[in-house]
Amino acid sequence: MFRTVKDQLGDVITVPDFPIRIVSLVPSQTELLHDLGLGERVVGITKFCVHPKEWFETKTRIGGTKQVNIEAVKALSPDLIIGNKEENTKEDIEALRILAPVWMSDVEKLGDALRMIIELGDLTLTQDKANNIAQSIRGSFDSFQLTIKDKTVLYLIWKNPYMGAAEGTFIHDLLTNELGFKNVLSPQSRYPICDLNDLIDQPDYIFLSSEPYPFKKEDLDELVQRFPASNVLLVDGEYFSWYGSRLMGTAEYFASLQALL
Q: Environment class of residue 145 by beta-carbon count within 10 Å: exposed (0-12), middle (13-18) or buried (19+)?
A: exposed
Q: pLDDT per residue over 37-95, tens digit each?
A: 999 999 999 999 999 999 999 999 999 999 999 999 999 999 999 999 999 999 999 99
Any domain includes 113: yes
Q: Kindly state whether residues 128 and 170 are assigned to the same domain.
A: no
Do residues 136 and 216 share a domain?
no
CA pair distance 240, 40, nearest whole angstrom: 29
CA dist 227 and 230 (Å) reads 5
Q: Are residues 155 and 134 in the same domain?
A: no
pLDDT score recorded for residue 145: 87
Asked if the structure places residue 145 within a domain, the reply is no
Q: 122 and 170: one domain?
A: no
**How many domains in the chain?**
2
Average pLDDT over residues 184-188: 94
- pLDDT at position 249 is 97
Q: Is 80 left (phi over 0), alpha (psi -120 to 50) or beta?
A: beta
- SS3 percent helix, strand, coil of the chain, rounded to 5, is 40, 20, 40
Instruction: Dump pLDDT digits (tens) for 59-74.
Output: 999 999 999 999 999 9
Confidence of residue 149 (pLDDT cuts 50, 70, 90): confident
Please check whether residues 73 and 16 belong to one and the same domain. yes
My answer on whether 74 and 178 are in the same domain is no
Alpha carbon distance 232, 228 (integer Å) = 9
Domain harbouring 155, CATH code: 3.40.50.1980
* Closest to 174 measured CA to CA, from 148, 202, 210, 213: 148
Q: At residue 189, does pLDDT exceed 90? A: yes
In a domain, 146, yes or no: no
Q: Let me know if residue 197 belongs to a domain.
A: yes
Final residue in a domain of this structure, among 140, 164, 191: 140
How far, in Å, CA of 183 to CA of 2, rounded?
Answer: 45
**Which residues, in sequence order, are bridge partners of residue 63?**
68
Domain range spanning residue 195? 151-258
Same domain, 196 and 104: no
Going 69 to 63 to 112 to 81, the CA torsion angle's sign is: positive
Q: What percent of the chain has pLDDT over 90?
A: 92
Q: Are residues 161 and 123 in the same domain?
A: no
End residue of a domain, out of 82, 109, 140: 140
Instruction: Give the least confident one: 14-23, 45-54, 140-149, 185-194.
Output: 140-149
